[in-house]
Amino acid sequence: MAKKRLGDVLRERKHISVADLEKTLEAQQNTTRLLGELLLERELVSKDDLVSALEEAARMRYVDVRFATVEKAAMELLPRAAAERYCVLPLVREGKKIVLAMAEPQNLRAIDELRFLTGMDISPRLGFPSEIAEAISKCYGDVESQAEKDLEKLPFIDQVDISDIQFFTANSSERSKAAMEEFEAELRNEKTPAVRLVSSILASAAKKKASDIHIEPHTLGTVVRIRVDGVMRDLTHIPAELTTSLVSRIKILSDMDISERRVPQDGRFVVQIGQKSLDFRVSTLPTHEGSEKVAMRVLDPSATRVGFAQLGLSPENSSALGALLALPQGMILVTGPTGSGKSTTLYSALNLVRSPAVHIITVEDPVEYKIDEINQIQVNTKAGLTFASCLRSLLRQDPNIIMVGEIRDTETAEIALQAAQTGHLVLSSLHTNDSVAAVTRLLDLNVPGFVIASSLTAVIAQRLVRKLCSCREEVPVTAEYSSRLLAAGIVDFDDTMFVEAGCGKCDNTGFKGRVGIYETLIMDEQIRACVRSNFRDDEIRNLARSGGMKMMQEDALQKVKAGVTTIDEVLRVVPFEQISAVSRCRSCGKALAPAFLFCPYCGAGTRQVSGGGRMQPARGPHSEGAKA
């Protein structure tokens, strides 16, 4: 059945004469107004007759939006700018559909773009333009007024200055550019609640030096949490009504598809706050309630310009690592769990060695920090650009130094280790608990022991602990404090120790900033021989410790003794399974493996006691008792 036009329906029903219809159609050619509007304005038809004719012509029901019920959930799906642009009013959300009152329900392009914007199927209803415009002004005005009131109630809004914030985003895709033009204009308007809220959250997180921002929607509202010095804390709670616009604002900044709420998405944007530039890596994740959880990782480019001493490496380890970085070839691995500062250590090493005379290429997933004079490659698994394929290609680029973001598979490990044998200095990372476990991990990846022994030069295991704020307090030592230090061979400590207090500078947490604790395994000939012979972890560890390697726990306790951090903070981060077995020679003070009966350094015999007890002398082949 052919679709009828409004004029034809009115003529058939004898509601208008042919002459009046032709005059009105002629007048319409010089304007963008709809025929129904002009007919009502000229009083050529009554509203009831026009509504009836429109319903027949468009084959859909008319809704008088002045008296219709408008659900807030429906309005949250469509910003005011888009509603005004298309002259539509969201009425009700019905499952995967949204009911819209439209002035032009026959405009298929508008329906397509509205479907894209809302992420839902469109169920159109008829409405008069003047009535829809009036309803938009009233309904959205009420919502915005309430949003402003809700925003003013948030305590942190007035505590941060958002006047110096500038955003740098990627351009939207061509497919969505037309549909989102007005939407973006609204969300970039500094006066809207969504923009003020996002700017305030970012500024507050930057002020507190947060490493992550998490937006977590719940039934009764949304919680915004930040991670400061490795520990999560609440920043604010925002009303549920602001959640959709808040997430949409972030997704537009990150160049994401705002209509897609069913699958995870990733994006990024850069924020200039005053003189400081911060890079935000954004990830969205759909939740069971239909909302999206947003996680934003905050990356500060200035973190790459930190020296080894500032990171927390001891002078001995700093000089040893500097010497290893000066070598023309070999592999240096940095190990630890996610968030332990591996990337910062690798970037600091690259900053130390970079110069116009050195050709450096990195392969990363993702490229976290951009550094001048370094060629950085972004892994793209979907396009076939993996760590292994990148490594095979970049070796033909004749680099001096190669950084591989992470060794995840056998092929990557083999190519990286072979590159370390053929005149390249290779830096990379692994996920292991300590330095010795990195060797086992490579063996588990089916890399032969002789390849590891000939290629690997050092392994640095690390964690991050919070540093005490300047407001720290000095208190008498506890039994646990003294037993832990004694177990690590630290006997010259005072009768007092430092604990957290809390002040305005540290948000009353007692801690401000973080410092690394390290364990550096240097591959000498004895350890290489052990690796070739597939010795167990504990045997390699004991040999390394007898050669002077400080375990991560020992480095942590040295920082506790120096008042940098606390025992409780160290126990939160560092495993202490093996620290109880530490023993030292009473004569020369060197660390000894539990199985040693005689000190290999001075020859003194020992009888060892685990758990931090004192070692008792035993008669060895070089002791006076033995000579007698």
Residue 380's alpha-carbon distances to 282, 407, 470, in angstroms, are: 17, 15, 45
- 103's CB contacts (< 8 A; 6+ apart) are 34, 87, 88, 127, 128, 129, 132
Give CA–CA dist 385/6, Å, rounded. 58
Rounded average pLDDT over 85-92: 89
Q: What is the predicted pLDDT for the residue at 74?
A: 83
In contact, 249 and 234? CB cutoff 8 Å: no
Q: What is the predicted pLDDT for the residue at 192?
A: 66
Q: What is the predicted pLDDT for the residue at 520?
A: 94
Element (H, E) at 185: helix 174-187
Rounded average pLDDT over 509-528: 93
Locus of tokens 């036009």: 5
How far is C-alpha 291 from the geometric centre of its chain's CA atoms? 19
DSSP output for 105-146? TT-HHHHHHHHHHHSSEEEEEE--HHHHHHHHHHHHHHHHHH
Q: What is the predicted pLDDT for the residue at 600?
A: 66
pLDDT tens readout for residues 175-225:
444 444 544 554 455 556 777 788 888 988 888 899 999 999 887 788 999
Rounded average pLDDT over 584-593: 63
Give CA–CA dist 36/10, Å, rounded. 11
- φ, ψ (nearest 5 deg) of residue 574: -105, 130
Per-chain mean pLDDT for the chain: 81
Residue 163 has pLDDT above 70, yes or no: no
Q: What is the predicted pLDDT for the residue at 443?
A: 92
pLDDT tens readout for residues 266-280:
998 888 887 888 889
Question: Between β-strands 425-430 and 330-335, what pairing exists: parallel, antiparallel or unpaired?
Answer: parallel
Q: What is the predicted pLDDT for the residue at 513?
A: 92
- Closest by Cα among 89, 14, 5 to 54: 5
Residue 357 in tokens: 């005379």
Residue type, 573: V
Residue 535 has pLDDT above 60, yes or no: yes
- Closest by Cα among 428, 302, 434 to 365: 428
Residue 344 in tokens: 């910062």
Report the range out of 16-30, 301-315, 453-467 with the highest average pLDDT.
Answer: 453-467
Residue 352 in tokens: 């130390």
Give CA–CA dist 171/124, Å, rounded. 31
Residue 33 has pLDDT above 50, yes or no: yes
- Closest by Cα among 39, 42, 43 to 9: 39
Q: What is the predicted pLDDT for the residue at 414?
A: 92
pLDDT grade for 281, boundaries at 50, 70 and 90: very high
Instruction: Give the per-residue SS3 of 575-628.
Output: CCCCHHHCEECCCCCCEECCCCCECCCCCCEEECCCCCCCCEEECCCCCHHHHC
Residue 162 has pLDDT above 70, yes or no: no
pLDDT grade for 490, boundaries at 50, 70 and 90: confident
pLDDT tens readout for residues 455-470:
999 999 999 999 999 9
Of residues 244 and 180, more confidence is placed in 244
50-54, 232-236, 396-400, 487-491: which has the minimum mean pLDDT?
487-491
- Closest by Cα among 210, 97, 122, 199 to 158: 199
Of residues 379 and 597, more confidence is placed in 379
Rounded average pLDDT over 107-121: 83
pLDDT grade for 429, boundaries at 50, 70 and 90: very high
- Give the number of other Cβ atoms within 10 Å of residue 626's Cβ: 13
Alpha-carbon Rg for the chain in angstroms = 34
In contact, 604 and 612? CB cutoff 8 Å: no
Give CA–CA dist 91/102, Å, rounded. 10
Report the range out of 36-50, 218-232, 511-525 with the highest average pLDDT.
Answer: 511-525
- Give the number of other Cβ atoms within 10 Å of residue 575's Cβ: 12
- 489's CB contacts (< 8 A; 6+ apart) are 554, 582, 583, 584, 589, 591
pLDDT tens readout for residues 188-200:
555 567 777 888 8
Rounded average pLDDT over 392-401: 90
Residue 36 has pLDDT above 90, yes or no: no
Whole-number percent of the chain with pLDDT over 70: 83
Rounded average pLDDT over 346-370: 89
pLDDT grade for 171, boundaries at 50, 70 and 90: very low
Give CA–CA dist 483/582, Å, rounded. 12
Residue 477 has pLDDT above 60, yes or no: yes
**Does the CA dihedral 540-542-546-550 come out positive or negative?**
positive
- φ, ψ (nearest 5 deg) of residue 173: -65, 160
- 192's CB contacts (< 8 A; 6+ apart) are 144, 186, 245
In contact, 605 and 626? CB cutoff 8 Å: yes
Residue 608 has pLDDT above 90, yes or no: no
Instruction: Give the per-residue SS3 of 494-510.
Output: CCEEEECCCCCCCCCCC
Of residues 150 and 247, more confidence is placed in 247
Could you say which DSSP state residue 416 is in?
H
292-296, 298-302, 521-525, 595-599: which has the minimum mean pLDDT?
595-599
